[in-house]
Structure 1
């Protein structure tokens, strides 16, 4: 165990001066290597002698001869300085192509449906030794799960973060209506009358029926009839294929479902506020090269996926501020 009282008496710069003097055995050359004047190095040597109670170096001709005490402690001091230099050296660049390990990300199911597949595909290209795991979570538990190490980051509409977390904006996600035109005959875009009179399906983990859609409708003097509520977005397509109904869902998942299940999408016939989708990660991971690489990869995948699906939303430039290095290079 380290003796703090002993270490407080010594200045690390004095040990460096000792190491250089041992190698050079000459005050002038040692002072030049240390970028010190000879008086400064002489003062450092005097402090060393007082601290270690030994002369350490004796002038012999134009050079210095170490004392037995200096010779005995030199290897340990050299090892200690080498260890410190290695410890503070810039970290080894992260190489995704050779890294073997696991990345875990937290995504609610609508974002998972839109982005997990493209993320997995890019991961296979750039980091073939990595296993990608999507972790299901309730956004109310996002911060706790992050602190517990359940995932590298979570993607959701997050609440105000703690001081030890960072919430980076990704995009403002609008809502779209989706339905099966073979069951529900409506002109596109939907009119307010058709929207208000049609049956509706909602998505709620807690089974809640009322949403911001109902608030907006109430302001216009209308109410809708909710005939079914499912806990996950994955249950929507078969439900909409089975009954004539409308679901109002985030744009990214709406477009994904429309392509995969031959459903029809339409803008809502009234204004709905967009949801701010954000990335939540730990402040301690902000500069970690492995974590930075993963966050940037996700941002690029989201950008490409949104563009490919024709979404009207764009990724915020603020989300890209945590790194500047191309993905093909180490960070």
Structure 2
């Protein structure tokens, strides 16, 4: 263990001056290398002598001759300065093509269904030796799991973060209604009467039947009939193809589901607030080259996937930037 009391007495600049003097054995040349005047270097040498209790260098003609004490400590000081220089060098740029390891992302069921496949495809192109792991999003423990390193970042609707986390905007999550037009005969744009008159299916991990949709309807003095609640979006297509019912889900999910399962989508017949989907990561990872690359790749994939689905959502690039 280092002796802090000893190190507190030493200015590291003095050790650098010692190293250069050992190499040059000449005050003028050493002062030029250190961008110091000769008086400044002489003052540094005087402080070194006082600190180490040794003359260190003796002038012999135009050169400096190191004392036995100087010769004995020189190798250790050179090693120490070299180690500090290596530690302070800029980090090597992250090379995804050569990197091997796991990349872990926590996300909700609907986001995973929409973006995981395209993200994995891009990852296989750019980092073929990496492994992508999707972790189920746990809203109650998201901060703790992030701090424990369970994943690199999460994508969801996040609460106000701690000071040691970064919550970066990604996009605004709006809602669409989706149903099977072969079962539920409605106009191309749902009316409020159509909406209220139809059965509804909710998606809720917690199994709750009341959502923001019910709150918005209540403000208008209406209510709907929720006949079923499922925990995952993957259950919706088969459910909507089996019964005449409406589900109100995030726009990008609705557009993807409609394309894949020949379902009909419509704007809700009343205003629903949009949710801010954000990326949450640790502040200590903000400038890490691997983490920055992964966030940038994810933002690009989300943007392209939303565009391909026909969504008009704009994706922010704040999540992958570091100032």
Which TM-score tier does this pair reach, normalised by the shorter chain? over 0.9
Q: Give the Cα–Cα distance (whole angstroms) in 2 for the partners of residues 314 and 282 of structure 1.
A: 24
- The answer for the alignment partner of 1:155 in structure 2 is 155
Secondary structure of 1:311's counterpart equals: coil
- The answer for the alignment partner of 2:225 in structure 1 is 225
Q: Residues 266 and 240 from structure 1, CA distance in 2 versus in 1: closer, same or farther, beyond 3 angstroms? A: same
- The answer for the alignment partner of 1:21 in structure 2 is 21
| Residue 181 (structure 2) pairs with residue 181 (structure 1) | yes
- The answer for the alignment partner of 1:265 in structure 2 is 265
- The answer for the alignment partner of 1:243 in structure 2 is 243
- The answer for the alignment partner of 1:207 in structure 2 is 207
Deviations 1:168-222 (A, max 9, x none): 0000010000111111111111111111000000011111111111111122222
| Residue 170 (structure 2) pairs with residue 195 (structure 1) | no
Secondary structure of 2:140's counterpart equals: helix
Q: Is the 8 A contact 2:28 2:38 kept in 1?
A: yes
- The answer for the alignment partner of 1:295 in structure 2 is 295
- The answer for the alignment partner of 1:145 in structure 2 is 145
Q: Is the 8 A contact 2:200 2:224 kept in 1?
A: yes
Secondary structure of 2:154's counterpart equals: strand
TM-superposed CA distance for 1:109, in Å, is 0.5
User: Unpaired segments of 5 or more residues in structure 2?
Assistant: none
Secondary structure of 1:140's counterpart equals: coil
Q: CA RMSD in A?
A: 1.0
Q: Is the 8 A contact 1:258 1:264 kept in 2?
A: yes
Q: Is the 8 A contact 1:113 1:256 kept in 2?
A: no
Secondary structure of 1:315's counterpart equals: coil
TM, length-normalised to structure 1: 0.96
Q: Is the 8 A contact 2:293 2:320 kept in 1?
A: no
Q: Give the Cα–Cα distance (whole angstroms) in 1 for the partners of residues 287 and 268 of structure 2.
A: 41
Q: Is the 8 A contact 1:201 1:246 kept in 2?
A: yes
Secondary structure of 1:143's counterpart equals: helix
Secondary structure of 1:133's counterpart equals: strand
Q: Is the 8 A contact 1:176 1:265 kept in 2?
A: yes
Secondary structure of 2:141's counterpart equals: helix
Q: Give the Cα–Cα distance (whole angstroms) in 1 for the partners of residues 34 and 11 of structure 2.
A: 15
Q: Give the Cα–Cα distance (whole angstroms) in 1 for the partners of residues 172 and 81 of structure 2.
A: 51
- The answer for the alignment partner of 1:164 in structure 2 is 164
- The answer for the alignment partner of 2:67 in structure 1 is 67
Q: Give the Cα–Cα distance (whole angstroms) in 1 for the partners of residues 275 and 261 of structure 2.
A: 25
Q: Give the Cα–Cα distance (whole angstroms) in 1 for the partners of residues 299 and 234 of structure 2.
A: 23
Moved more, 1-10 or 136-145: 136-145
TM-superposed CA distance for 1:320, in Å, is 4.5
Q: Residues 322 and 237 from structure 1, CA distance in 2 versus in 1: closer, same or farther, beyond 3 angstroms? A: farther
Q: Give the Cα–Cα distance (whole angstroms) in 2 for the partners of residues 172 and 13 of structure 1.
A: 52
Q: Give the Cα–Cα distance (whole angstroms) in 1 for the partners of residues 138 and 319 of structure 2.
A: 22
Secondary structure of 1:139's counterpart equals: coil
Q: Give the Cα–Cα distance (whole angstroms) in 2 for the partners of residues 233 and 268 of structure 1.
A: 19
TM, length-normalised to structure 2: 0.98
Q: Is the 8 A contact 1:105 1:154 kept in 2?
A: yes
Q: Give the Cα–Cα distance (whole angstroms) in 2 for the partners of residues 3 and 219 of structure 1.
A: 68
Secondary structure of 1:167's counterpart equals: strand
Residue pairs, 1:21-170, within 5 angstroms:
21-170=21-170
